[in-house]
Structure 1
Amino acid sequence: MKMALINGSPKGGPSNSGFLLEKLKPLITEGNELHSYRVNAKQLKPEQYRELNEADVIVLAFPLYFDAIPSHLLRMMVELENYRQSEPGNPNLIVYVLINNGFFEGRQCTIAADMVSNWCVRCGFRFGMAVGHGAGEMFNDIKMVPLGKGPLKNLGKAMTRLSTAILTRSSAESLFIQPNFPRILWRLSATHFFWHRKAKQNGLRPKDLRKQPFQESR
Structure 2
Amino acid sequence: MRIAMINGSPKLGKSNSGMMLKALEPLINAEHEVLHYNMNKKPLTDEQYIELCHMDTLIIAFPLYFDAIPSHLLRMLTTLEGYMKAERKKEIYVYSIVNNGFYEGKQTYIALEIIKNWCIRSGLHFGQGIGQGAGEMMGFIEKVPLGKGPLKNLGKAMESLAQNIHTHDSDESLLFSPNFPRFAWRFAATHSFWHAKAKRNGLKKKDIIKKL
TM-score over 0.5 (shorter chain): yes
SS class of match (1:80) = helix
State the identity as a percent: 56
Match of 2:45 in 1: 45
Partner of 2:5: 5
Q: What are the ranges of 5 or more consecutive residues in structure 2 without an aligned counterpart?
A: none
> What SS does the corresponding residue of 1:14 show, helix, strand or coil?
coil
The TM-score normalised by the length of structure 1 is 0.94
Q: Alpha-carbon deviation of 1:210? A: 2.0
Shift of residue 22, structure 1, vs aligned partner? 0.6
- Aligned partner of 1:114 in structure 2 is 113
Number of aligned positions between the proteins? 212
Residue in 1 that maps onto 2:136: 137
Q: Distance in 2 between matches of 1:186 and 1:111?
A: 23
Deviation of 1:211 (Å): 2.9
**SS at the partner of 2:61?**
strand
Alignment-derived partner of residue 150 in structure 1 = 149
**2: distance between equivalents of 1:51 and 1:40?**
19
Larger-gyration structure (1/2): 1
Instruction: State the 1:121 CA deviation.
Output: 0.3
2:4–2:58 contact (8 Å) kept in structure 1: yes
Find the aligned partners of 1:29 and 1:15 in 2 and give their Cα distance: 24
Superposed, 1:61-210 pairs within 5 Å as: 61-87=61-87, 89-210=88-209
Given that 1:4 and 1:59 are in contact with CA atoms closer than 8 Å, whether structure 2 keeps it comes out as yes
**Which secondary structure state, in structure 2, belongs to the residue aligned with residue 129 of structure 1?**
strand
Partners in 1 of 2:104 and 2:41 — Cα distance?
28
> Shift of the alpha carbon at 1:143?
0.6
Q: What is the letter of the counterpart of residue 99 of structure 1?
A: V
Report the Cα distance in structure 2 between the residues aligned to 1:126 and 1:177, rounded to whole angstroms: 23
In structure 2, C-alpha distance between the alignment counterparts of 1:212 and 1:57, rounded to whole Å: 48
CA distance in 2, matches of 1:125, 1:92: 7
Task: Give the 4+ runs in structure 1 shifted more than 4 A.
Answer: none
CA contact (8 A) 1:41 1:72 kept: no
Give 1:113 shift. Answer: 0.3
Letter in 1 for 2:51: E
